């Protein structure tokens, strides 16, 4: 479920309770909302639970922004946060793989023979590895 749908559902429940004569306070709505989040929101939930002056609007904005960042990271790193967020080692390994891939592309060796080098003008800052044919 998208965060916007979840937040709307929580607000609708709060409004229904108010209409029925049993309103809940804003801090209770915030608490119930944070409790209902999936484990992928644990980092932001921990921070938000300790904010004293958190409004419903601030909560919504923060959670929607966090959801957006999660989606960006999932797209970039191919990480399944529902299963992997609780294991920081997996995320660190994914990030390290991305870094290593970037570095290996930058340091990619140029394979060529001595004859090919002498017959052409190769200009590169990359290391040259001579191979025998």
Task: Record the tokens describing residue 86, joined without a space.
Answer: 């609780």
pTM of the model: 0.57
Q: Is the pLDDT of residue 96 over 70?
A: no
CA distances (Å), origin 88, targets 25, 36, 77, 93, 124: 35, 22, 14, 9, 39
Q: What is the CA radius of gyration of the chain?
A: 26
Span 36-95, pLDDT tens digits = 998 888 889 999 998 889 999 999 999 999 999 888 887 776 655 555 554 555 555 655
Mean pLDDT, all residues of the chain: 75
- So what's the pLDDT on residue 18? 92
CA distances (Å), origin 81, targets 32, 33, 38, 56, 77: 22, 19, 10, 25, 10
- So what's the pLDDT on residue 52? 86
User: Do the Cβ atoms of 42 and 35 come closer than 8 Å?
Assistant: no
């Amino acid at each position: 479920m998208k965060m916007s749908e979840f937040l709307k559902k929580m607000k609708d429940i709060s409004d229904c309770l108010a209409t029925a004569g049993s309103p809940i306070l804003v801090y209770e709505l915030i608490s119930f909302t944070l409790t209902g989040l999936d484990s992928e929101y644990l980092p932001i939930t921990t921070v938000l639970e300790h904010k004293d002056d958190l409004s419903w609007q601030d909560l919504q904005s923060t959670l929607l922004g966090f959801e957006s960042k999660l989606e960006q990271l999932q797209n970039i790193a191919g990480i399944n946060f529902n299963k992997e967020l609780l294991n920081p080692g997996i995320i660190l390994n994914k990030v390290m793989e991305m870094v290593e891939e970037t570095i290996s592309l930058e340091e990619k060796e140029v394979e060529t023979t001595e004859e090919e080098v002498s017959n052409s003008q190769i200009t590169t800052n990359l290391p040259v590895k001579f191979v025998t044919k």
